Structure 1
Amino acid sequence: MTDDLSGRTAFADALARLRTSRGLNKKTLARMMGFDPSYVSHVENGRHRPTCEFAARADAVLQTNGELAAAFDAFLAETQTQEGPSPRTTRAAARMRAGLVVRREDSQLTLTEDGYYHIRILRDVHNAGDQPVTRFPVRIDVDAHPADPHLSRRFYRDNPVTLTELGFRATFDGEPSRWELVEDRDAYKKIYVWFEPGGLPAPIYPGRSATIVCSYRVHATKWGNWFEREIRWPTEQLSVHLRFPAGVEVSLTGREVTWSGDRKLPSPPTAAIRDGVTDFSWSTNVPPLTNQYHFDWQLAA
């Protein structure tokens, strides 16, 4: 195998240049990509070889229109053997969707008469990568006082959200599935949903699809008057439903949060009253990676 140093250096230089031109530091880019900051630093400094997944995510987050993918192709070309190109030289641009792809996400938040927000998130996922996938990470993040971080920390220190009160449940293709709490803070939970319906492992193999549904509840006093969806996987369709008792007056606003700043939603939510519930619905197709869609409301009886 030939020395890959020059190709690796060219990719690192392109990554650093594009990152800087977007006004991002390494830590911010790493967060947007879902990588450890030290890994981004090592790639830029030439200490680590970039992977296809790393190149694909960086290309998508930085919106380089394939420039980083092409630099990654050039890097891979230098890793070929004397017998011919390595199987890994598949074009990075063609593997932009490597790993799980969310075909459809349907997120629902419902305020019920008992004072709880009930959250249900359905994802139809497809494995577009070349390795089986065995779990899916879920994050639960609440903030009753987003405008005052100090007050929020103090509030949740005295009133933590507990796993018991969440009543978390998960299903895999309609069957209850095992889950594991991996991070537990006062106002934040991270959970792994294992693909084990009925207690039996059922990995999503390359080319296969499945439906994952997660549900939980948080009392309104602990949740806060907001709901947000962050695009952390390539997503083809996102829909959001915010449901309130019809007798409650709701003033709802929404915005799209991108790395370049906030802006209005491409289209406003629409409202419809059915069975005593006001349902505010909103949807979008092919939302960009790392975008956040944030909804705020005020309630009045």
Structure 2
Amino acid sequence: MTSQLEHAARTAFAQVLTAWRTRRGLSKKQLAASMGYHPSYISHVESLRHHPTFEFACRAEAVLASGGEIISRYEQCRQAAGEPAPVQVVRSDYEPSPMLPATLVIEEENATLTYADGWYSSRVERVVRNVGDRPVTCYPVRVDVDRFPDQPGVSRQLYHESPLQLSDLDFQASVASVGDERPEPMEVRVTRSSDAYLKMVLVFGNARARFPLYPGERTRVTYSYRVPANLWGQWFQRDIRFPTRALTMSLRLPASMGAEVSAESLSYAGIKGFSPTESPGENGTVVYTLRLRELLLTSQIRLRWRFDEPAPSGWADLAA
């Protein structure tokens, strides 16, 4: 039988949960989806029909970011019920990467680069799985360019005069459950910048809510940006910094430029060349595609090209 003290503690927990859910502008269904629970469970906790668990409180805190208030209220519930302190259990019901232990595994990546009207536009989609034992709240990315790789002095001067800035890239990022057509925008934070590159983290959250990637779960992260052709180059590169099961890189160029495209992989195992497939694209373009599986960590995959007709020249890098 529930004591008066326990009932008061559960009531306080439910009120705090409801208040933070309302503050974040989330319905019970939206909060449940973000936490990985059925919507009815949220209703039962808020109406005192269900006792909150430690896992429930942790997930609610991760999504609602109450500054610890939700966890504090849960502790009061636990103590009022006379329950022992929770024990952290490490998950073991997942298959770790055979390549190298990691928190994240990229199950599939599709990276596309398009040249049109004096701009290079990049779009990256990654299916990311959390194989760790704790929620993941952000994902690192990097934009790196170098138009004159063989002339470092010229390159430094170019980017010193025209440095990369996030506001100029039209950078956008979103996340959605695999198969879900309703992506959520991700907050973008620059962690380090130089004249020729930007390091960022994509936060699993925005001003409305947080939606961490929990252990065993997977999601689709998508981001895009564009760079003026005078700052870009003729290399498109992917650095393998997380275990990656499948990678597809596509390069879309005007057919009128008569591009010659090649590909290579650089790793501790050496340099290996590839021949991208070529197919006609829309609006007078040609699409060059490279597909690889089970890539080696720390390797670099490059598409490089040259034109029969005059066009922007140099080098560009896409990194995880």
Q: Shorter-chain-normalised TM-score: which range?
A: 0.5 to 0.7
Which residues in structure 2 correspond to 1:81-100 (within 5 Å)? 96-100=100-104
Are positions 1:137 and 2:131 aligned together?
no
Aligned to 2:259: 250
TM-score (norm 1): 0.66
SS for the counterpart of 2:205 is strand
Are positions 1:284 and 2:288 aligned together?
no
In 1, the alpha carbon distance for the partners of 2:106 and 2:206 equals 20
Percent identical pairs in the alignment equals: 34
Aligned to 2:199: 190
Aligned to 1:299: 307
In 2, the alpha carbon distance for the partners of 1:155 and 1:142 equals 11
After superposition, the Cα gap between the structure-2 partners of 1:165 and 1:94, relative to the gap in structure 1 and judged at 3 Å, is: closer
Are positions 1:119 and 2:119 aligned together?
no
In 2, the alpha carbon distance for the partners of 1:294 and 1:244 equals 16
Assess if the C-alpha contact under 8 Å between 1:124 and 1:209 holds in 2. Answer: yes
Aligned to 1:274: 281
Q: Show structure 1 runs of 4+ deviating over 4 A.
A: 93-97
In structure 2, what residue type is equivalent to 1:103? Answer: E
Aligned to 1:262: 271
SS for the counterpart of 1:279 is strand
Residue from 194, 211, 214 that aligns with 2:220: 211
In 1, the alpha carbon distance for the partners of 2:245 and 2:269 equals 22
In 2, the alpha carbon distance for the partners of 1:290 and 1:98 equals 13
Question: What is the CA deviation profile of residues 39-87 of structure 1, one whole-angstrom value per residue up to 9, with x for unaligned ones?
Answer: xxxxxxxxxxxxxxxxxxxxxxxxxxxxxxxxxxxxxxxxxxxxxxxx8
Are positions 1:220 and 2:217 aligned together?
no
| Structure possessing the higher relative contact order (Cα contacts under 8 Å, 6 or more residues apart) | 2
In structure 2, what residue type is equivalent to 1:133? Answer: V
Q: Which has the larger radius of gyration?
A: 2
- The alignment covers a number of residue pairs equal to 211
Offset at residue 197 of structure 1 (A) = 5.0
Offset at residue 208 of structure 1 (A) = 0.6
Unmatched 5+ stretches in structure 1: 1-86
In structure 2, what residue type is equivalent to 1:270? Answer: T
In 2, the alpha carbon distance for the partners of 1:259 and 1:159 equals 34
Which residues in structure 2 correspond to 1:33-182 (within 5 Å)? 96-112=100-116, 114-173=117-176, 174-182=183-191
Assess if the C-alpha contact under 8 Å between 2:263 and 2:302 holds in 1. Answer: yes
SS for the counterpart of 1:155 is helix
After superposition, the Cα gap between the structure-2 partners of 1:284 and 1:151, relative to the gap in structure 1 and judged at 3 Å, is: same
SS for the counterpart of 1:223 is coil
Aligned to 2:56: none
In structure 1, what residue type is equivalent to 2:157? Answer: R
In structure 2, what residue type is equivalent to 1:127? Answer: N
Assess if the C-alpha contact under 8 Å between 2:102 and 2:242 holds in 1. Answer: no
Question: What is the CA deviation profile of residues 136-195 of structure 1, one whole-angstrom value per residue up to 9, with x for unaligned ones?
Answer: 001000000011112111111112122222111000112211111111111000111000
Offset at residue 97 of structure 1 (A) = 4.4
In 2, the alpha carbon distance for the partners of 1:293 and 1:118 equals 18
Offset at residue 294 of structure 1 (A) = 1.2
TM-score (norm 2): 0.62
